[in-house]
Structure 1
Amino acid sequence: MTTLKIKPEKGDPSDVIQFFPKYNIQLLCCRHWWLENWEYTELSFPYWRIYHNNAEGAKIIYNDTEYSLSPNQIILIPPNTSYATRLYDHEIPKEGFSLEGGRVDLNADRQKTSSKPSLLHLFIHFNIGIPYDNISPGIFSFELTEHLQSKLQRIKNHLSKDHKFFSFHISLVIKALIADLLTELPESNWDLISKDHRIISCLRYIEENLADNLSNPILADKAKMATNAFIRLFSNEVGISVQKYVRNKRIDRACIMLHHSNLSIDEIALKTGFADRYHFSRIFKQSTSISPARYRKEFGMST
């Protein structure tokens, strides 16, 4: 008996259309530092963080609870989580911070000669986009398995040779590490702003077009809704007005640029949709209580 093999007319013989969430892991920085001081009154930024230390001694304080960083653990922190940090028994300043550290490769001699205790600190900053950057805040600690340790070691080996340029392969390793940790978060922890597809589409449009005119009528048109109906739905789903959300996202993007780029304040103002540097500086200070220049001085990653 002969069995006839019929070749499907299409590449996928299934007649079920599948839908997958859209997300993009955007790497902002990946660095390996030695630290002698790491005392911050408050750290809270609009991006994710990963921490791993080679020795005991660092602590994160979140909601009056201390989390110790150890070589056997890796820490994942969602965006806009507010926490304090310290090394050893150092006192946390009442305001501001005390940071003493630098790249491992450039400061190897100092590490050998300094009399102060220090440790090695790997940190990665990244975003995955709206709505997934809106997970509830918290501190997540995971056991460092051999699988994760292998990725960390490859990343550290690269950073010991080159801190500026990353090959496609090492970028995949960093993103694979991030994906491994994100998959360990319970599904119930993902607290999305909205499940309404019109609002989700609008939020993505805002994120991708911060330099453009994002007036209520334009955004309502993108959502294919009447302006007043759109404004009401947005406020009900997101919890704040459309324009307050737009302003917050522009300030978030400005913080990321001030922290992770060498763009001038004028360029950042333009890229985040402000009329000029002065308008940007005024709104930025209203939102963060400090000027863009001071923010860059305190939190910039030029080292």
Structure 2
Amino acid sequence: MKLVRDIKLGDPSPNKQNFIGLKLNLLCCRYWLLDLWDCHDMVFPFWRLYWNKNEGGELIHQNKVYTMTPNYIYIIPPFTSFSSRFTKNHMYNEGIHVSGKHLTTNYNEKDYVDKHLFHFFVHFNLGVPFDNVYPGVFKIELTDYLRDRLLYLTERLKVENSDFKLTFNMKLQAFIKESLTNIGPELWKAINIDERVLKVIRYIEINIDKKLSNPKIAEIANMAPNSFARLFKEEMNITIQNFIQNRKIAKACDLFEQTNDSIEEVSFKLGFSDRYHFSRVFKTVIGLTPATYRSGRYT
């Protein structure tokens, strides 16, 4: 047998193909029985996907109320400020108040459907530049494929809630990706940003632990600082320093969820002058203190 060495990647065609890299990183996936879901002005640095099996849930974004129904899933990009509530048990008008428990096979759903919310949610990231799309709430109508996947995922979550098998992981990722394809141009416009801006975004991701000044960043793009600042704002709909701030806090959330680092250690790793400066910025971006976020008292 002769080993073929002169065909790159095993492709015999001379036509070059360009593929978009999508780095889906799953953070959590749960199916809960909620009796309280009064959460106000939440902002988190990751994508959220919600589906309620029964009615009673609402999402609010920029004074628009989305009445959640079982025929739709709802996708919320990172850094979107929104609120939620369970209308059958609405008690608070500010703060984050959640009460519920993991649904298992021990529960007969028919016994809880009138006074509780059957709530499926996934938190995930997609990587640069897809974690920088414009804020909003995307309402996606369920197709037969998505409905079948939801049935499988929720039933499996009743049985297994921590160590997932390969099949579950692959079906969950397929479900998320299929859901995202229904968003439309709002998602895909992120890949068409100016190459100079994309180059800087990549530089920021690699050097997120450093203090990054406008002159240094403009140098990466080979532009004058003021000119690049205007270009960045036009392309990303956010100032360069606010973007850097958001990315640092997003990285902080990753560290809180994946390591046992203290707040001081995370602050140091991300180039903040001290814990107090870090905590002020974290509270400004997320709406929670680092300590509250680490405790997981939100959903």
Q: TM-score, normalised by structure 1?
A: 0.80
**Partner residue in 1 for 2:100:** 101
- Say yes or no: does 1:268 pair with 2:266: yes
Give the 5 Å matches for 1:4-43: 10=7, 11-43=10-42
| Contact map agreement 1:40 1:92 (CA 8 A) in 2 | no
Q: Establish whether residue 169 from structure 1 lines up as the match of residue 167 from structure 2.
A: yes
Find the aligned partners of 2:114 and 2:85 in 1 and give their Cα distance: 15
Q: CA deviation at 1:42?
A: 2.0
Whether the 8 Å contact between 2:39 and 2:95 is mirrored in structure 1 is yes
Structure-2-length-normalised TM-score = 0.81
1:298–1:95 Cα change, 3 Å: farther
1:34-92, CA deviations, whole angstroms, 9 ceiling, x for partnerless residues? Answer: 10011122222222111112211112123333322233322222222222211134335
1:45-194 aligned at under 5 Å gives the runs 45-91=44-90, 93-105=92-104, 108=106, 117-188=115-186, 190-192=188-190
Structure 1: how far apart are the matches of 2:228 and 2:112?
60
1:3 corresponds in structure 2 to none
CA 1:64 to 1:241, structure 2 compared with 1: closer, same or farther past 3 Å? closer
Cα deviation, residue 96, structure 1: 0.5
Offset of 1:13 from its aligned partner?
Answer: 2.9
Deviation at 1:210, TM superposition (A): 1.8
- Summarize the Cα distance change of 1:99–1:162 in structure 2 as closer, same or farther, 3 Å threshold: same
What's the offset of the Cα at 1:12? 2.3
| Equivalent position of 1:4 in the other structure | none
Q: CA deviation at 1:112?
A: 9.6
The residue identity in structure 2 corresponding to 1:266 is E
Q: Which moved more, 1:172-181 or 1:81-90?
A: 81-90
Q: Is the 8 A contact 1:48 1:76 kept in 2?
A: yes
The Cα offsets for residues 191-218 of structure 1, whole Å up to 9 and x where unpaired, read as 4386221221221232244224545566
The one-letter amino acid paired with 2:292 is: R
1:258–1:300 CA contact under 8 A, matched in 2: no
**Secondary structure of the corresponding residue to residue 89 of structure 2:** coil
Q: CA deviation at 1:246?
A: 1.6
Opposite residue 31 of structure 2, the aligned amino acid is H
Provide closer, same or farther for how the CA distance between residues 113 and 187 of structure 1 changes in structure 2, counting only shifts above 3 A.
closer
1:159-238 alignment to 2 at 5 Å? 159-188=157-186, 190-192=188-190, 195-212=193-210, 214-216=212-214, 219-220=217-218, 222-223=220-221, 225=222, 228=225, 233-234=231-232, 237-238=235-236
Q: Is the 8 A contact 1:53 1:122 kept in 2?
A: yes
Q: Specify the SS of the correspondent of 1:192.
A: helix
What amino acid is the match of 1:252? A
Q: Secondary structure at the residue paired with 1:99?
A: strand
Aligned letter for 2:17?
Answer: Q
- Alpha carbons of 1:167 and 1:115: their partners in 2 closer, same or farther (altered >3 Å)? closer
**Partner Cα distance (1:271, 1:169) in 2:** 36
Alpha-carbon distance in structure 1 between the residues aligned to 2:83 and 2:272: 31
In 2, distance between residues paired with 1:241 and 1:139?
22
Deviation at 1:101, TM superposition (A): 0.6
* Residue type of the alignment partner of 1:147: Y
- How many residue pairs match? The answer is 293
